[in-house]
């Protein structure tokens, strides 16, 4: 029984490491205007409005201001996104706290390795499918679909979200590599 419990703890810990790595990666850029601006300048159909409105959106997500300039459907979707951002950050915190109690070198090492494999697996699946699944699972049906002339689509076309997603994966991959490297160095240090 104790062996099953130890195996469960390791598996849970490894999964939590991966969740923490990628939610932390998300958290780094979720409220970071320069990241948004980089993708706006690259993809937005109206960069001037997108730059101005994105500052308002980020302030709104942080609870610093009210949302301005969006129609009722767009504002409703952004309220859902704000709730989701907060939920993901709370989940990251809870996973991190849990890891403090169950993680050891082996959990961190395997979690770091799995963090390196995770984006490769996701990269195999076309982003259009991932984007669709993500929205179907997390949002009420139809509340995330907008006409091509809506302000949200003008500000944040599909390519914007693809770059945002790749940025999260790249940061998570680097963090996974750092964790893996630190664990390997620690193991080598103890073997000397």
Residue 87 tokens, joined: 């939920």
pLDDT, residue 33, reads 95
CA distance 109 to 1: 25
pLDDT tens profile 56-72: 999 999 999 999 999 99
What is the residue-wise DSSP string for the chain? -HHHHHHHHHHHHHHHHHHHHHHHHHHHHHT-HHHHHHHHHHH-SSHHHHHHHHHHHHHHHTTSS---S--HHHHHHHHHHHHHHHHHHHHHHHHHHHHHHH--HHHHHHHHHHHHHHHHHHHHS-HHHHHHHHHHHHS-TTTT---TTSHHHHHS-HHHHHHHHHHHHHHHHHHHHHHHHHHHHHHHHHH-
Structure tokens at 90: 């709370």
pTM metric for this prediction? 0.90
Model confidence over 47-59: pLDDT tens digits?
Answer: 999 999 999 999 9
* Cα 79 to Cα 93: distance, rounded to the nearest angstrom: 21
pLDDT tens, residue by residue, 10-47:
999 999 999 999 999 999 999 999 999 999 999 999 99
Predicted confidence (pLDDT) at residue 1 exceeds the cutoff of 70: no
pLDDT in tens, 160-190: 999 999 999 999 999 999 999 999 998 888 7
Task: Write b or e for each residue in 118-150: b if 16 or more Cβ atoms lie within 10 A of its Cβ, otherwise e.
Answer: bbeebeeeebeeeeeeeeeeeeeeeebebeeee
pLDDT (tens digit per residue) in 138-155:
998 888 899 999 999 999
Mean pLDDT of 99-125: 93
Model confidence at 74, pLDDT cuts 50, 70, 90, reads very high
As a whole number, the mean pLDDT across the chain is 93
pLDDT of residue 93: 96
Report CA dihedral (33, 38, 44, 48) to the nearest 10 degrees: 60
């Amino acid at each position: 029984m104790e062996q099953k419990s130890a195996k469960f703890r390791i598996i849970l810990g490894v999964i939590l490491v991966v969740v923490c790595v990628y939610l932390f990666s998300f958290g780094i850029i979720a409220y970071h205007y320069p990241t948004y601006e980089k993708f706006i300048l690259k993809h937005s159909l109206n960069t001037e409005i997108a730059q101005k409105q994105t500052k308002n959106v980020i302030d709104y997500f942080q609870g610093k201001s009210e949302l301005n300039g969006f129609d009722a459907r767009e504002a409703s979707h952004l309220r859902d996104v704000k709730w989701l951002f907060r939920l993901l950050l709370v989940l990251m915190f809870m996973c991190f706290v849990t890891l403090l109690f169950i993680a050891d070198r082996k959990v961190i090492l395997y979690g770091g390795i799995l963090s390196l494999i995770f984006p490769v697996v996701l990269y195999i699946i076309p982003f259009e499918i991932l984007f669709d699944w993500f929205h179907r699972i997390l949002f009420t049906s139809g509340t995330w679909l907008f006409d091509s002339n809506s302000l949200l689509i003008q500000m944040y076309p599909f390519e914007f979200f693809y770059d945002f997603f790749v940025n999260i994966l790249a940061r998570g991959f680097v963090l996974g590599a750092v964790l893996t490297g630190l664990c390997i160095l620690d193991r080598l240090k103890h073997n000397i």
